[in-house]
Amino acid sequence: MTEKEFKQTEENLKRSGPVPQHVAVIMDGNGRWARKRNLPRVAGHRAGIKSVREVVKGCGALGVDYLTLYTFSTENWSRPKTEVGALMRFLRGTLRRERDELDRNNVRLSAIGRIKDLPGPVRDELARSIEYLSGNTGLNLILALSYSGRTELLDAVRRVAREVEAGELRPGSITESTLRLRLYRGDVPDPDLLIRTSGELRISNFLLWQMAYSELYVTDVLWPDFRRSHLYEAIGEFQRRERRFGGISAKKGPR
């Protein structure tokens, strides 16, 4: 698609229905993409950076408020040390290289997960990038790093338990909001749309609390091949769905 065609598609989507406020993406298929080309797995991650740029640009153009990318899970630490080391070096370099591009696109940056488990140089580069982009007012880009949905819930429950033990919180006063506000980013609305690439039909321990009513969109496209046009297809599909949140359909069907 040309830039003119992208602009027209964006205008059509804005008129067609609500644009998701929060999009989450499981960026799957980097390894398979590389394997098909007889390349090392990290080559798939490098190729996937273009996809990240495309999705960031597309979400910004449509007025999406939040984009959460499943970047590195806690389970990924179990991969071979050489691969993990290469991924950490790649992550550090990518943060440094992409900062100016994100700034030009008015993007803010934050991260969720057990950030303390990342190597010191990666943590430092992440902190520099977050600070560098903190004055922007556009898309909120959230990187899930050393992240696990179960770990997030465990950390939130432990925080609640400490507050109860300290007498700061009464057990009888605990509500859903109590736990939600103790998640890594309790201030962020739940994802309206989850996109998973590479055709796998699972959510892989991602945003377990937040995904309660997210619309799921799965594509066979491998992440390094995912482009703005694929994002717009996913959002078009989202707009055609009726979100009932457990209620009754507002559409009148046959009796």
Over the stretch 85-137, which tens digit does the pLDDT of each residue have? 999 999 999 999 999 999 999 999 999 999 999 999 999 999 999 999 999 99
User: What is residue 203's predicted lDDT score, i.e. its pLDDT?
Assistant: 96
DSSP 39-77: --HHHHHHHHHHHHHHHHHHHHHHT--EEEEEEEEGGGG
Q: Give yes or no for a contact between 204 and 26, defined as CB atoms under 8 angstroms apart.
A: yes
Average the pLDDT over 168-187 and give the result.
96
Instruction: Kindly list the structural domains of the chain, giving each domain's residue range(s) and its CATH number in brackets, ordered by start.
Output: 21-148+192-240 (3.40.1180.10)
Q: Residue 35: which pLDDT band, with cuts at 50, 70 and 90?
A: very high
pLDDT at 243: 80
Confidence (pLDDT) at 21: 98
Instruction: Decide: residue 2, CB within 10 A, 0-12 exposed, 13-18 middle, 19+ buried.
Output: exposed
Dig out the tokens for 9 from the structure: 């598609």
The per-residue pLDDT for 255 is: 42
Q: What percent of the chain has pLDDT over 70?
A: 96
Kindly report the average pLDDT of the chain as a whole number.
95
Residues 6+ apart with CB under 8 A from 20: 64, 191, 192, 193, 235, 238
For position 246, what pLDDT does the model report?
72
Residue type, 174: I
- The pLDDT of 202-218, averaged and rounded, is 97
Beta strand pairing status for 193-196 and 66-73? Answer: unpaired
* CA dist., res. 232 & res. 238, Å (int): 10
Three-state SS for 237? helix
Taking 60 as the threshold, does the pLDDT of residue 76 lie above it?
yes
Four-CA torsion 83, 87, 88, 94, nearest 10 degrees: 160
Model confidence at 27, pLDDT cuts 50, 70, 90, reads very high
Q: Which of 28, 38, 15, 27 is nearest to 68 (CA)?
A: 27
Which residue numbers are catalytic?
28, 76
The answer on pLDDT for 34 being more than 80 is: yes
Q: Is the pLDDT of residue 231 over 50?
A: yes
pLDDT > 60? residue 210 = yes
CA distance 46 to 91: 10
Of residues 47 and 1, more confidence is placed in 47
| Contacting residues for 173 by C-beta, under 8 A, at least 6 apart | none
How many Å apart are CA 221 and CA 183, to the nearest integer?
A: 31
Q: Residue 18 and residue 44: Cα distance in Å, rounded?
A: 33
